[in-house]
């Protein structure tokens, strides 16, 4: 299975989650500006939630995702309180890309390290998506 991890992160929290996902999946997490060179069976895609909205760069990236390059997606997000996965899921589905039913919203304070509980949830998310 070809897996890719892409993320949008302003303060580093989403990057930390993306890197944890990539570690459990055995791949490298890359920011949105690193293109996906070959078709992926599964794209882990995520970003932060800012004032209940996704970042414009993430929205722009999602608007051009190609179902020819991405077979399915697993969505994650970070915030201090709001689950932003719903808007990301909608944008991916609008591109006719299958989205896994389970999402991973990670509530985290800016600059905080991932807890053991969060790492366990990330590992379970990766296992479910790749299972």
Would you state the pLDDT for residue 72?
98
Query: Beta-carbon neighbour count of residue 22 at 10 Å?
Result: 20
Q: What is the CA angle 71-48-109, rounded to 5? A: 135
Judged against a pLDDT cut of 80, whether residue 20 lies above it is answered with yes
The pLDDT confidence band at residue 51, using thresholds 50, 70 and 90, is confident
Residue 120 three-state SS: helix
Which tokens belong to 95? 């591109």
Q: Does CATH number 3.40.50.360 belong to domain 3-130?
A: yes
Would you state the pLDDT for residue 76?
97
Give percent of the chain with pLDDT exceeding 90.
Answer: 81
Would you state the pLDDT for residue 57?
94
pLDDT 10s digits, 68-105? 999 999 999 998 777 889 999 999 999 999 999 999 99
Whole-number CA gyration radius for the chain: 13
Give the contacts of 104 (CB within 8 A, at least 6 positions apart). 17, 21, 46, 74, 75, 76, 77, 85, 121, 122, 125
Per-residue pLDDT, averaged over 15-39, amounts to 96
Of 67, 74, 16, residue with least CA distance to 45: 74
Residue 39 three-state SS: coil
């Amino acid at each position: 299975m070809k897996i890719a991890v892409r993320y949008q992160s302003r303060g580093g929290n989403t990057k930390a989650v993306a890197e944890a996902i990539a570690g459990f999946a055995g791949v490298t997490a890359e920011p949105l500006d690193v293109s996906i060179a070959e078709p992926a069976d599964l794209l882990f895609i995520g970003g932060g939630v800012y004032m209940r909205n996704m970042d414009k760069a993430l929205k722009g990236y999602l608007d051009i995702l190609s179902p020819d390059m991405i077979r399915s997606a697993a969505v994650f997000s970070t915030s201090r309180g709001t689950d932003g996965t719903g808007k990301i899921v909608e944008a991916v589905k609008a591109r006719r890309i299958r989205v896994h039913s389970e999402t991973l919203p990670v509530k985290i304070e800016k600059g905080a390290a991932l807890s053991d509980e969060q790492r366990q949830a990330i590992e379970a998310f990766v296992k479910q998506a790749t299972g």
